[in-house]
Amino acid sequence: MPLNRREFVLMSAGAAALQITGPGSSAFAMKSPAGADDLPSLTLAEASRRIHAHEVTSVALTQALLDRISIYNPKVNAFITVLHEEALSQAAALDAEAKSGKFRSALHGIPIVLKDNIDTAGIRTTAASEVFDDRFPDDDAEVVVHLKAAGAVILGKANMHEFAAGGSSASTYFGPVRNPWALDHIPAGSSGGSAAAVISDLAYGALGTDTGGSVRMPASYCSIVGLKPTYGLVSIRGIVPLTYSLDHCGPMTKTVEDAALMLNHMVGYDKHDVASIDVAKEDYVESMKQPVSGLRLGIPRAPFYDLLDEEVAKAVEAAIQVLTKMVKSVKECHLPGTSGFNALSLTGEREAYHIDLMRKNSMRYSLGVKQSFESAEKKMNDISDEPCSEKIVDYVTSQWKLILMRKNINDAFTDFDLVVLPTMRILPRTVNDALEREEEVKPREPEVISNCTPFNIFGLPAISVPCGFSASGLPIGLMIAGPRLSEGKVLALAAAYEKATQWHTRRPTLTPDMVVPPVKRKV
């Protein structure tokens, strides 16, 4: 039976204070070639090659990860549900196919984890909320159907920010997700568990969802690769929505090649998903190999380079210098603003999903998420004296603006092919600081700590790749984005940068005796 993580997490939450020295105390280790006893450290591509060469079985890979999960998940709290028996059974069936010479795809026998807002038939899908503590969907999400058909093994469901309604992964019914580089810090969110699982070598790849940066932000803070594809390229049917018009689903992996391998088996037209787009099939692994020497890079300084942490700015500028040597040109550029688009008006999509749930289960939402929902609704009601009719008008006009922006955004990429910018503007906060901010009753001034949301509004492909570390050992990410359906170019530049640097080879040093710091909340 799937393992219920909630009881264990709650038991662990009262652990003694963190004993390591500073946020970077776990420092990092260079990834070494994996032997028979170090299977979890393989990349997805390496694991795939070994399976296809009959050097390792899916059962061996799955068991190695399950063993590691049992040791380190209590530290990082990346999983809500672990599918021990189911994963091993699925792996055994795929090994039988491989033994007879049948391989479904490059993902055949590869264990991955799914964010827990992605439906899985007969397997609990909670969206990290008490509201859905006993929710068992009847069907797999469309993207899960694709991955299973490709032979991926589902290890379990990843912890996340409740209902994907925040960027810390601290507000969750199952206890905060910890950043493996520093357990007292957040991994960002909302796909924090997916990112923590990948960088901790608890899975070879993961699925995350991204409404305002929730794949790329935790990828940046955990030093992995996170790709948000073009809006509609990957079906979002069967995924618990946050804001449907901005929701995306993308792969989270150790390397760019791994992300391309996963994306190959995630895309596909879904006539039952109103967001889905029908495009010609593309091999993203092959597209990733295209030369980058002819690419023209744009650097959108304003507003994306404003108010950067000093160490973030230094790391990103160093990354630009690396890229400058491998592309045709680099120039400062400007992207269209999104200030004329009222994203707040789309909260009606959130209300449409949650209105009945909130009425029946108000006290089962976490404090931070409940306040976030109520605050957004109040702001919309304050806009006019006739909240219902005005909200409808605002929603419709915002949809028109959204459609027009997405139809015309490729026109911005006339003098440059791709843009490069920091993924996050600041370094990770502590878990306690994040919770204090999210549970603060008094409204706070809006903050811009990431550069991700405009690319959700435009619906453009964007990837975050590791580009450095702070002096205290906290990861820094670089974002590369391009026009609609330019995944191949985005992946190619990301892969070229990855090949020219070593940031992606570093791993946090986790030990079984690491002490989980306590969660401190105001009484």
pLDDT on residue 435 = 94
pLDDT band at 5 (very low <50, low <70, confident <90, very high): very low
Catalytic one among 191, 194, 214, 372? 214
pTM over 0.95: no
Is 178 strand, coil or helix? coil
pLDDT on residue 388 = 61
Mean pLDDT of 209-227: 98
Higher pLDDT, 182 or 388: 182
Catalytic one among 115, 228, 370, 489? 115
pLDDT on residue 370 = 83
Q: C-alpha 188: how far from its chain's center?
A: 9
Name the nearest CA neighbour of 201 among 41, 49, 82, 321: 41
Please indicate whether residue 200 is annotated as part of the active site.
Answer: no
Mean pLDDT of 276-297: 98
Q: How far apart are CA 191 and CA 214, in angstroms?
A: 6
Is 358 strand, coil or helix? helix
Q: Where are the alpha helices (DSSP H) in 421-509?
A: 431-438, 453-458, 487-500
Please indicate whether residue 171 is annotated as part of the active site.
Answer: no
Higher pLDDT, 401 or 373: 401
Q: What is the mean pLDDT of the chain?
A: 90
Is 394 strand, coil or helix? helix
pLDDT band at 378 (very low <50, low <70, confident <90, very high): low
Residues of the chain above pLDDT 90, percent = 79
Which DSSP symbol is given to 420?
E
Please indicate whether residue 235 is annotated as part of the active site.
Answer: no
Catalytic one among 129, 171, 190, 245? 190
Name the nearest CA neighbour of 142 among 173, 119, 158, 159: 119
